[in-house]
Structure 1
Amino acid sequence: MDWRGVVADGVRAYGLSDAQRLELLALGRLDREPALLQMRLPLLLAGLACLLCGLGLIFAIAANWSGLARATQFGLLQAALGLGVLGVIVRPSLCLPLGLWSLLAIGGLLAFFGQTYQTGADTWQLFALWAGLALPLVLGLRSDVLWAGWSLVVMTAIALWVAAHAGHRWRAEADDVVVHLLGWLAALGVALALHGDWGRRAGCGVWARRTAACLAAGLVTATALAALFGREPTVQALLALLALGAAAWALARPDGFDLFNLSAVALGLNVVLVGGLARLLFNGPSGGAPFGRFLLLGLAAAGLLAATVGGVLRLARRPGSREGDDL
């Protein structure tokens, strides 16, 4: 709620003076910036600056740095990583932005090797190596932001591993079911590790856990869509429904309720169910005009989404439910 707007409305309604308005603002501590904002804003701006600098470094590698020699490129990347790690040691108060810079610099250095020397490794191996090399840094700094970035790298490595072992194609054929199940189990293992007691002791916060859970749900949902819209529907679509349903059941329980992750999983369920209906309507032996089928699909999707939102809200308002990942 905009309390400043409430005070302004009250001033106009009751004809209060400027002195009374200022007194009201002071009573509500609205006459100054919030103390939490004053404490965190400089650190957040520094983190954003290091994020942009690290991404700029990676984008520069992607541009091949054609005007510089290989030794110069390698030296600059090594210097960037070394300065970031040294800065973390010398200035612990800036561990968040400098740690994020170091995490991105590791990726840039690996991208340089992969692009320059053509090691023959698949892309997923570079991301896996990136995650492995960055793990001591993330464990040492115990930052939610770094854990969120690390989980993004790990989940990318898992998704690329699945694609590499499915014939380097984003497909979901019947022969690839074991590969997809292993990828799902790996993604679920990462998400559960960050959600468990180990993750909390290691410094994982709410955003790291949410990032891992949402990416895992996204991987399962994407596989189900690929299974539905291939040449022939495959068993991965049914397995994805079962996996997402089990995750929704676990997240809806009062002792493990998580509104954010439950919403993400419920959205995945909606996407898979609507995708299955679309496959049935437009690829099956259904009759009728295409307009009618589109209308039916839209109404079914809207009704399913409304029912899902209503159910999630009822669970959130249920006595005994608590948001375990609340800020």
Structure 2
Amino acid sequence: MALTHNSYLVLPRLKVQNLNTISSPFTWGAPSITAALGFMHALQRRLPKDWKWMFTSVGMVIHDFEPQVNGDWVKKFNLTRNPLGKGGETQGIIEEGRAHAIVSLVFGVFALGQQVDENQNQQRLGDISSIVNTMRFAGGSIIPHDHFSQLPLFFMEGEETNELVWGKIKRSLLPGFALLSRDDLLIKHTQYLQSINANATALDAWLDLSRINRHCVMEIEEKDGMHSEKIKWEIYRAAGEAGWIVPIPVGYSALSERYETGVVNNTRDSRVAFRFVESMCSIGQWVSPHRLFDLTDLLWSSVTDHQLGIYRCVNKNSLQEFN
């Protein structure tokens, strides 16, 4: 049975250097939500077991994002050849997209009913800060800081009203943009394209929502009894899809059967079952936290279905469509 959180842990303004900005085979930009969930599980494994904390979900807010690219119209990643081979010859380049970013993470935590005084709570937050400073986020290095305002924050539900807790967390996240799921837009736009063309697929809708489209409009002008045709180019995104809409990876879909432990050689962990997968993509939206009505709108959790071969991250806006 899935646990529901009764507490919130906020890691405000983590400075991350050289994180991986190629989030899937099809997308690049801000780190994927799968990276945030992976960081959540890695942090969970480093916490002392006697705390009896279980992380259930995570939200990601980007405050600053600086991709390491060059060029004016066509952007290219700044790449390096390393290490040098014998005799000084250079190795072939493997494309790696990097970026510097300032990221805040909000965790939904299930804390097993234990009373912790304020001194113990501050000690724990200091321990968490020390642990986080030794970790990596999305392949990037977390730069330690000792500013008091950047220390982790912890809130227990029930100590104050949810409105007060949410208000404190929102203030700690501003200015910034939170990533939300918009599976509903993808479904709606797929249905719209299929009403025009029965052969349209979800991939067509995803591509249409992921780009700025240009189309030609012919205008007829009348002057002194003469008609002239004028071509006008219009730039638009899909009608009704206002906001900062972006293509995002949301998990993985199975390509093969599920192999038992030890069947496939050279796996990362031979003690767990193995499956070949590919990236699963959807549509997301960046929203300022002050526009959210509830803290749960921000949180993502993982859903696993071995029969369907789906391993994906779900947000409050995508739960209904997934179920």
- For Structure 1 versus Structure 2, the TM-score category normalised by the shorter chain is under 0.3
Larger Rg: 1
Which structure's residues are more often helix, by fraction?
1
Normalising by structure 1, what TM-score? 0.25
Which structure's residues are more often strand, by fraction?
2
Normalising by structure 2, what TM-score? 0.25
